[in-house]
Chains A and B, each alone.
Chain A
Amino acid sequence: MRVLPCGDRALLAEFEGLAAARAAHARWRREAPAGVVELVPAARTVLVRLDTAVLGLGAAETWLLAHPPIANDTAPMAARTVTIAVAYEGADLDAVAAAWGCSPEAVAARHAAVDWVCAFVGFAPGFPYLVPSSDGAGLPPVPRRATSRPRVAAGSVALAAEYCGIYPRESPGGWQLIGRTDAVLWDADRAEPALVTPGTRVRFTAVRQLPGGAP
C-alpha cells in the first residue's frame, strides 16, 4: 500500500491490485475515524476524502498506514444477489468468441456461469464494475475496442479487461458488447437508485428474447 498526495482535501491509497483495494475499502468503511467523509473505491485505489478541520492530512495518512487491508476481507456492503436476464446478442459477441477461440454460444455460457460481484461503481451513475467473486474464476481479459462507439444502448452488457459492466443509460462507450438486459440499473427516483452497488453479487441468466421485444 502506498499513500499518494491528492491536494488539500484527500489522500489516494494505492494497492497492488483490486483484491487489496477492496479489502482496504471494506476495512476502512467499518473503522475509519471521524473526519473521513467519503471513500471512493476503484480498480487499484481508494480515494479518501477528508474534512481536514477534523482530521488533517498527516494524521489521516498515519491512520491509513496503521490500518492496512486484511487479506480476504471483502465483507459485503450490500449482502444481496441480483439476477439479471441477458439476451446474448451483442455486436461484439463474435469478436469476443474469436478472441477466446470458442463459439458465441460458449461465450454466453461462460459469462453466465460466473458468480460476479460489484467491485465499484464509476463512469456513470449506477455503472457497475463486476469481477468474479472468487479468484481464478475469471474469464480471459478482453481489450477495449480500438475506437469507442458514440452510442451504446442502455442495458448493454459488456466486457473490458477483467471486468463486466452494464450501461445504465445510453452513452458513448468502448467496451465489447456481448448482450443486453432490460433490468433498470439506475433510476434516480427509486428508493435505491442503483440496482448494483459495491458488494452486490450478480448472476446472469440467458434468455432468448427480452420481454420488451427485440433489443
Chain B
Amino acid sequence: MTALRVLDAGALTLVQDLGRPGLAALGVSASGAFDRTAHRLANRLVGNDEGATALEHLLGGLRVALPAGTWFAVTGAWGTLSLTDAAGVTRAVEPHTAVRAETDAELHLGPIVRGLRATVAVRGGIAVPAQLGSRARDTLAGIGPAPLAAGDVLPLGPAPATPVPPADLVPVDPPTDGVVELAVRPGPRHDWFGPAAWHLLLTEEWRASARSDRTGVRLEGPVLAPTPERADVELASEGMLRGSIQVSPDGAPTVLGPDHPVTGGYPVIAIVVDASLDLLAQLRPGQPVLLRLATGRR
C-alpha cells in the first residue's frame, strides 16, 4: 500500500474533501474544503476527481514524506515549496502544477506569504476512512479525520483512470495581500439594522480578525447597532449558511465558514454570495476587507 507520512503538520493540517451537505436535520453542517476553488484545481492538476480528498494546510511548515512515483500539486496560499529527493538533493517546486516525486522524497511547504491556506492534492487522493459519507474534518462538530500530527501515515487511493493532464502550468495569481472585496446580498435580518448600519457595512474598510477560523471569520471595525426597537430582542435560533454575516451583541460582524453551526441566534444582516466564499479562506489577520452589494437580479 502506498501512503504518505506526515513529518511535521505545522500549525494545522486537516484532511478535506467537498464535505457532507444535506445533514442539517441532524445538526451537522457541510464542512469541506474552505477554498473550494483551490481544492478542485489541485485535484484536477493530478488527474483526480475534483472532490477527491486532499490536505488543507494553514500558515506553512508542513513536511510530508512521499513514496517514489507520487504525483502531487499545491494550490491556494503561496509560499516557497521544495522537494528533497532520496539523495538529499533539494529543488524548488512550482505551485499550480503537477509534480512527480521520482524517488522517495520529502515535500516541504515554507512559511505562507500570500493567503493563509494551501491545498496539497496527491494523485489517488487520501484514502482514510470516511465518516457520514465524507472525509472532511469538521472542526466544530469534531467529525471526520483528526487534525494531522507528525507520524501520521495516510494511505493513498488507487490512481484514477484519467491521466495527469498535460497542462504545463496553470496561470493563477497568488491570493492578494491588498484589499479583498466580497460580494454580499441582504440577509434575513437586514431590517434589524438601520440605514446607518447598512451604510457602514458596505462602505467601511473592515479588518480580518486574528480570532478567525473555519467556524467563522470575524471582521473588526465600527459597531453595527440594531435599531432601538430591536436592541433587546432575542432572536429564536434559525438556520445558518456558509457566508452568513452574523452580528453578535457587541456589534461585530462574523462571516460564517464551512464548519459553521447549523443554527444560530444572532441576526444575519447580509450573506456573502457563493462566488466570493473561497476568498474568505485566504484572508490574513489584519487584511482589509470591503463588502459590496452584489449586482444582478434581486
Is residue A64 within 8 Å, beta carbon to beta carbon, of the partner chain?
Answer: no
| Complex alpha-carbon distance, A56 and B297, angstroms | 10
Chain A proximity of B11: nearest CB distance (Å): 24
Using A8-B185, A8-B274 as known contacts, say yes or no to A43 and B236 having CB atoms under 8 A apart: yes
Determine whether the beta carbon of A122 is less than 8 Å from that of B187.
Answer: no
* Complex partner residue of B143 from A41, A58, A125, CB under 8 angstroms: A125
Chain A nearest Cβ from B187, distance in angstroms:
6
Which B-chain residue is minimally distant from A189 (CB atoms)? B131
With a CB–CB cut-off of 8 A, which chain B residues contact A169?
142
Rounded to whole Å, the gap between the CB of B59 and the closest CB of chain A is 27
Question: Is the CB–CB distance between B185 and A198 below 8 Å?
Answer: no
Q: A140 at the A/B interface (Cβ < 8 Å)?
A: no
With an 8 A cutoff between CB atoms, is B28 at the interface? yes
- Contact flags (1/0) for B246-274 with A, using CB distance below 8 Å? 00000000000000011100001011111
Q: Out of A8, A120, A124, which one reaches B271, CB within 8 Å?
A: A8
B236 nearest in chain A by CB position? A43
CB distance from A119 to the nearest CB of B (A): 11
Within 8 A of B (CB), among A165-186: 169
Interface with B: A9-17, A101-109, A130-138, which one?
A: A9-17
Knowing A8-B274, A46-B239 are in contact, say whether A40-B187 is a contact too (CB < 8 A).
no
Give the docked Cα–Cα distance between A59 and B190 (Å).
22
Q: Does A188 sit within 8 A of B, measured CB to CB? A: yes
Bound CA span A198–B24, Å: 11
Please give, as numbers and ranges, the residues of chain A lying within 8 Å of B261 by CB-CB distance.
122-124
Check A123–B297 contact: CB distance below 8 A.
Answer: no
Closest residue to A6 on the B side, CB-wise? B188
B25 interface residue, CB < 8 Å from A?
yes
B187 lies within 8 A of A6 (CB): yes
**What residues on A are CB-neighbors of B273 within 8 Å?**
7-9
**Is the CB–CB distance between A122 and B262 below 8 Å?**
yes
Cβ of B166 < 8 Å from any Cβ of A? no
Q: B179 contacts the other chain (Cβ, under 8 Å)?
A: no
Set of chain A residues within 8 Å of B274, measured between Cβ atoms: 8-9
Contact B241 A124 (CB under 8 A): no
CB distance from A150 to the nearest CB of B (A): 17
Write out, one digit per residue, whether chain B residues 27-65 have a CB within 8 A of any chain A CB (1) or not (0): 110000000000000000000000000000000000000
Q: Are A44 and B239 in contact (CB under 8 A)?
A: no
A210-B70 Cα distance, complex, nearest whole Å: 53
A188 contacts B143, C-beta separation under 8 Å: yes
Q: Which residue of B lies closest to A78 (CB)?
A: B25
A193 touches B132 (CB 8 A): yes
For residues 163 through 185 of chain B, which have their beta carbon under 8 Å from a beta carbon of chain A? 184-185
Q: Is the CB of B24 within 8 A of A38?
A: yes
Interface mask (B1-42 → A, CB under 8 Å = 1, otherwise 0): 000000000000000000001101111100000000000000
What are the interface flags for A4-28 relative to B under an 8 Å C-beta threshold, 1 for contact and 0 otherwise?
A: 1111111010100000000000000
| Max count, chain A CB within 10 A of own CB: residue among B142, B185, B188, B268 | B188
| B102 interface residue (CB < 8 Å to A) | no
Complex contact B25–A41 (CB within 8 A): yes
B141 on the A face (CB < 8 A)? yes
- State whether B238 touches A45 (Cβ < 8 A): yes
B216, chain A: closest CB distance, angstroms: 15
Q: How far is the CB of A15 from chain B (nearest CB, A)?
A: 11
Q: Does A139 contact B (CB under 8 A)?
A: no
Complex-state Cα separation, A14 to B268, whole angstroms: 14
Q: Are A125 and B141 in contact (CB under 8 A)?
A: yes
CA distance A197 to B26 in the complex (A): 6
From B143, B186, B239, give the contact of A47 (CB < 8 A). B239
B80 sits at the interface (CB 8 A) = no
CB distance from A191 to the nearest CB of B (A): 11
Q: Which of A41-91 contact B (CB under 8 A)?
A: 41-47, 49, 56-58
**Chain A residues numbered 113-155 whose CB sits less than 8 Å from any CB in chain B:** 120-127
Q: A7-B243, A47-B24, A197-B26 are in contact. List 15 more A-B contacts (CB 8 A).
A: A6-B188, A7-B244, A7-B272, A40-B25, A42-B237, A43-B238, A44-B236, A45-B238, A47-B239, A49-B241, A121-B25, A122-B27, A122-B237, A125-B141, A188-B132
